[in-house]
Chains A and B, each alone.
Chain A
Amino acid sequence: MKSIIELKNLHKVYATGTHALKGIDLEVKEGEFCILLGLSGSGKSTLLRCLNRLIEPTSGEIHIDGEDVIAAKGQKLRFIRRKIAMIFQQFNLIKNLSSLTNVLTGKLGYSTLIHSLTFPQHKNDVKIALENLRRVGLKEFANKKTRNLSGGQQQRVAIARALMQDPKIILADEPVASLDPATADSVMRYLGELNKKDNMTVICSLHFLSLARKYGTRVVALKDGKIVFDGTPEEIDEKKFKEIYGEDAEEVEIR
């Protein structure tokens, strides 16, 4: 299988002096469900945001689907970004707009300014958006403002927005950290489905090993901005777990 993401010696130093990524080398194959583990502050969020340049890397190389992400500018960068959907811990929906409008914003990378201002008039876009909402089981919530939805429903709207981009890759930054365990599992199930049925490559940071074992095909663990483990979920035993999370860590069993 060909690799879709290639990182070489990636560094990120923040203006505050924090050295968040210290030379990351990583290759992700097409169709993988790659789980990122690591303590808060280990560099997971920074790594995910460097991939679509929400954060500018300090040095190193990023190739996604054969394109040089670091060299990309303007239009080119927008076209790379629209192939990479992103899902966030805080859902990051526009709370006083309807679910449907939120889902339609997933199409912005494909639209001109005029087109995007008249979204409701473009029947085809609306049809696809409704179809995506149906897929996450929220069709009847299309006209509801997202601020009135529960956490799990909001994250599903965010997944529908991601689908709207017709992405090859989904980056998920702790997508279930603000959800209760049952809802968390249902959200992960949608991500799993996209990975298996639609063959989307998923990179997802998590804190629960149980979910990592259930959905991940690969686990990459970060510690202090370096990769300290790279293997299958089954390979993580007590010892490895303590290496990643420190000596005092106990695995919390969810479910």
Chain B
Amino acid sequence: MKKENKIKSIIQAILTDLLFWIYIFGCISFLINHWFEKTIPSNFVVIFGIAVGLITFILGLSVGRKVFFPTIRTDKKWHKSFWGWSVFFILLITFVVGWNLVEVDLYKLFTKFRNAGGILSGIFDPNLNILTLCLTALAETIYLALLATVFAIPLAFSLSFFAARNLMPRTFIGNTVYIIVRTIATIFRSIEAIVWAIIFSVWVGIGPFAGMLALMIHSVASLTKLYSEQIENIDPGPVEAIKATGASTLQTWLFAVVPQIISPYLAFTIYRWDINVRMATIVGFVGGGGIGLLLLQQQQLLRWQNVGVIIWLIAIVVWTMDMVSAKVREKLQEM
């Protein structure tokens, strides 16, 4: 092992051990607080964590050593070694802390079934009188998902070429464009559609238009990523051949790249529409209009029979979309 690499591994191993033990003591202090209502000062946790971490590292027993110095031979089975038990312990304590944080209560789960009676009876006795109203809202949802997808296609299609490593020349401009497009797409994708819906419902007012904008932004970002990955996977041979004929860059993209990606693009787009229909319901909850908004209103009014109708409709649409998009994608694969 090279000297710098060795130092790097040692630092990584020590940091791992410190975090490992600080986390364990943090969990212990949380449990003591939770069960015995005694507060342990946080600097105690840190000091104990650092101390135990360092000691185990120096003694050569630690997890960090095991992970970053895999060349050190340990013939022992995990249950006969210190690192094995510490990993077991950290998993166990994480589970216990999780159980308490989430307030898991099996007693409630099995005894308070009656509380949900209203909604369940609503599902099996839906109020069909409001069907027309629901269908209107449902149409809103489906069309807002469709428009979001349709508007996203040309934007994502154009952007994907600039986000494909193999098409962007490795010059200053090429790299800059590639990095900017990639970064923006990643940031926009990491913001959930539901957050966009909140932003747009303030911007353009509550309603399907806000929902459409939210889904569109999110779709552009994800499709750009999916599309550009598809471009990065194309056969570079035809690109070379078309370039050699004296074609311009745009002609090269149109004749050598587009024919290779058209069918995966269609498959991704249909899949995206499918996702958008499902998301449109959720987005409706936070001001995106459509069936989601109606569901929220009826639920708050405790009209369980109306809620029942809506749930059935959503289930039917999602199921149909799922089937259709799977079938279409299957056919596209064969092309």
Q: With contacts A94-B255, A97-B259 known, is A82 near B245, CB below 8 A?
A: yes
Tell yes or no: A229 within 8 A of B by CB. Answer: no
B248 touches A113 (CB 8 A): yes
The one of B235, B245, B255 that contacts A81, using a Cβ cutoff of 8 Å: B245
B240 near A94 (CB under 8 angstroms)? no
B residues within 8 A CB of A158? 241
CA distance A108 to B255 in the complex (A): 9
Of listed A93, A96, A108, residue having the most chain B CB within 10 A:
A108
- 17 extra A-B contacts, CB within 8 A, seeds A54-B244, A81-B246, A96-B263: A78-B247, A78-B248, A82-B246, A84-B244, A85-B244, A94-B259, A96-B259, A96-B260, A105-B255, A108-B255, A109-B245, A109-B247, A113-B248, A113-B251, A116-B247, A116-B254, A165-B246
Contact flags (1/0) for A77-96 with B, using CB distance below 8 Å? 01111101110101111101
Do B245 and A90 have beta carbons less than 8 Å apart? no
Q: B104 contacts the other chain (Cβ, under 8 Å)?
A: no
**At the interface, yes or no: A161 with Cβ under 8 Å from chain B?**
yes
Inter-subunit contact A86/B248 (CB<8 Å): no
A90 to B240, CA, bound (A): 11
Q: Which residues of B contact A117 (CB under 8 A)?
A: 254
Complex Cα–Cα for A78 and B245 (A): 8
B251–A54 touching, CB < 8 Å: no
Whether B237 lies near A90 (C-beta < 8 A) is yes
* Subset of 25 A-B contacts with CB under 8 Å: A54-B243, A78-B248, A81-B244, A82-B246, A84-B244, A85-B244, A85-B245, A86-B241, A90-B237, A92-B240, A93-B238, A94-B259, A94-B260, A96-B259, A96-B263, A105-B242, A108-B242, A108-B247, A109-B247, A113-B248, A113-B250, A116-B255, A158-B241, A161-B245, A171-B244
Q: Report A93-115 CB contacts with B as 1/0, cut-off 8 Å.
A: 11011000000011111110100
Instruction: Answer yes or no: A52 CB below 8 A from chain B CBs.
Output: yes
Closest A residue to B335 using CB positions:
A96
Chain A positions within 8 Å of B246 at CB level: 78-82, 108-110, 165
List of B residues within 8 angstroms of A84 by Cβ: 244
Closest 8 CB pairs of A and B: A109-B246, A82-B246, A92-B237, A108-B247, A92-B241, A81-B246, A86-B244, A78-B246
Report Cα–Cα, A52/B256, bound state, in Å: 18
Interface size on A, residues (CB 8 A): 32
The proximity string for A residues 192-214 relative to B, scoring 1 for CB distances below 8 Å and 0 otherwise, is 00000000000000000000000
Choose one: A93, A110, A116; the contact of B241 (CB below 8 Å): A93
Please name the residue on chain B nearest to A15 by beta carbon. Answer: B170
Q: Is the CB of B245 within 8 A of A94?
A: no
Which interface class (under 10, 10 to 19, 20 to 34, 35 or more) fits B?
Answer: 20 to 34
Bound Cα distance from A107 to B248, whole angstroms: 12
How far, in whole Å, are A54 and B241 apart by their CA atoms in the complex? Answer: 9
Write the chain A residue with the least CB distance to B170.
A15
CA A45 to CA B263, docked complex, whole Å: 32
Min CB distance B264 to A, Å, is 12
The residues of A that contact B250 with a CB separation of less than 8 Å are 113
In the complex, which residues of chain B have a beta carbon less than 8 angstroms from the beta carbon of A171? 244
- Closest Cβ of chain A: how far from B234's Cβ, in Å? 10
Question: What is the CB-to-nearest-CB distance from B321 to chain A, in angstroms, rounded to a whole number?
Answer: 28
Asked if B244 and A105 make an inter-chain contact with CB atoms under 8 angstroms apart, the answer reads no
User: How far apart sit A52 and B242, CA to CA, in the bound complex (Å)?
Assistant: 12
Contact A54 B245 (CB under 8 A): no
Contact with A along B304-317 (1 / 0, CB 8 A): 00000000000000
Kindly provide the distance from the CB of B315 to the nearest chain A CB, expressed in whole angstroms: 38
Contacts of A80 in B (CB 8 A): 246
Bound Cα distance from A79 to B335, whole angstroms: 36
CB A50 to nearest CB in B, in angstroms, measures: 12
Output the nearest chain B residue to A162 by Cβ-Cβ distance. B245
With the chains together, A171 CA to B245 CA distance in Å? 12
Complex Cα spacing A97 to B237, Å = 15
Cβ contacts under 8 Å, B260 to chain A? 94, 96
Bound Cα distance from A150 to B316, whole angstroms: 48
**Contact partner of A52 among B235, B244, B263, B335, CB < 8 A?**
B244
- Report the bound CA distance from A243 to B245 in whole Å: 36
B254: chain A residues at CB < 8 Å are 113, 116-117
Residues in B neighbouring A79, C-beta threshold 8 A: 246
Assembly CA distance A142 to B137 (angstroms):
51
A81 neighbours in B (Cβ, 8 Å) = 243-246
Which of chain B's residues has its CB closest to A78's CB? B246
Which chain B residues lie closer than 8 Å to A97 at the CB level? 259
Min C-beta distance of A11 to chain B, whole Å = 19
Query: Complex Cα distance A190/B91, Å?
Result: 70
Pick the contact of A88: B237, B259, B335 (CB < 8 A): B237
A residues 29-59 in Cβ contact with B at 8 Å: 52, 54
Q: Digit string of B9-49 for contact with A (CB within 8 Å is 1, else 0)?
A: 00000000000000000000000000000000000000000
Closest chain-B Cβ to A252's Cβ sits at a distance in Å of: 27
CA–CA, A117 and B251, complex, Å:
9
Complex Cα distance, B235 from A105, in Å, reads 17
Contacts of A54 in B (CB 8 A): 240, 243-244
Bound Cα distance A85, B246 (Å):
9
The smallest C-beta distance from A84 to any residue of chain B, in angstroms, reads: 7
Chain A, Cβ-Cβ closest to B242: A105
**CB atoms of B244 and A94 under 8 A apart:** no
8 Å CB contact of B240 from A82, A88, A106: A88
Check B245 against A106 for contact (C-beta < 8 Å). Answer: yes
